[in-house]
Amino acid sequence: MYTKTLNLSIILALIVVILGAYARLADAGLGCPDWPGCYGQLLVPDVVSSEYERPLDIAKAWKEMVHRYAASTLGLAIIVIFIFAALGKTERAQSIRVPAALLLLVGFQGALGMWTVTELVHPGIVTMHLLGGFSTTTLIFWLLLNQRKPIQLNQDISKRDKIILVVVTVLLAFQIFLGGWTSTNYAALSCGEYFPSCLDQMWPDNMDFENAFYWGPLGIDYEFGVLENPARSAIQMVHRVGALVITGALIGLAFAYKNYTMLRNNIFIILLLLSIQVGLGIINVVMSLPMFAAIMHNAVALGLLLSLISLTHKVFKNHKTA
């Protein structure tokens, strides 16, 4: 039951991340101006009282509430995971520390979901909420990998290559943050439909890097963004530079691991997802952020992270055969 719950939870986590991206891209984050209900109801109402300043948009409200329902179901599943681990009801030995960290994380994630609404989609809070969703999925995936039969590697992994893997994973996590910051500040289209240039310039001279990563005050409405376009274009260009860096880093990782025969499938998946991700990033710019491509850009970023986590698990949790 523990492993089955983990399998269900990883599917739920993926759904929650995708629904979260959809709600964000559809500008539905404030579809319900209160939390955890919607205009004081557990279901989206047909009419609302005059005490709410924000008018009801039923389509946006349902997008937000479906996301909340899925996230709540995932939270319940994570509680069950923790209980199973605490009672020792796991197929393979599992420390209580990771399930406990997962439980604490999902509690904090719930608080971030609430603050996303009450603080009117503050970019910093929404970005942390996105990173929390990725982190939750990663921890569930790690627990699931722990329950699989260990793979006996037939080659030693050098210390240098282990360090490379850790560094690349950290770089990818930072690039995911940059992507979240770009999205939550509505900066994805700040360079227009130009690629690789920005506003028809390779490096616009009016970009405002000073305010690009400004943590604005709480209590004001951040829907559709508050930054001027020079700051938004600076965010977009930093994200593009980050994309170049992580692309080079992942290709370098592939070269470093090319001689480890038992890890070639992992490297192939990483390079395949990287190719898809680069293509989606270009499509998002030149086609002005089509919804499907934008959601998939978010989902493939998570897939890339999980593929690196899978490789990390093999490298650090398995042992060379005698």
Report the sign of the C-alpha dihedral through residues 90, 93, 95, 98, in that order: negative
The verdict on whether 64 is a catalytic residue reads yes
Tell me the CA end-to-end span of the chain in Å, nearest whole number.
33
Report the sign of the C-alpha dihedral through residues 178, 180, 183, 184, in that order: negative
Helical packing angle, 2-25 and 58-86, nearest 10°:
160
Contact 78, 109 (CB under 8 A): no
What is the DSSP track for 30-48?
TSSSSSSSBTTBSS--SS-
Q: Other CB atoms closer than 10 Å to residue 223's CB: what's the count? A: 12
Collect all residues with Cβ–Cβ distance below 8 Å to 212 and sequence separation of at least 6. 227, 231, 232, 234, 235, 238
What is the DSSP track for 123-152?
HHHHHHHHHHHHHHHHHHHHHHHHTSPPP-
Catalytic, out of 51, 53, 64, 193: 64
In one-letter notation, the amino acid at residue 7 is N
What is the DSSP track for 43-97?
S--SS--TT-SSPP-HHHHHHHHHHHHHHHHHHHHHHHHHHHHHTT--SS---SH
Collect all residues with Cβ–Cβ distance below 8 Å to 105 and sequence separation of at least 6. 132, 135, 136, 139
Contact 16, 70 (CB under 8 A): yes
- Residues acting as catalytic residues: 64
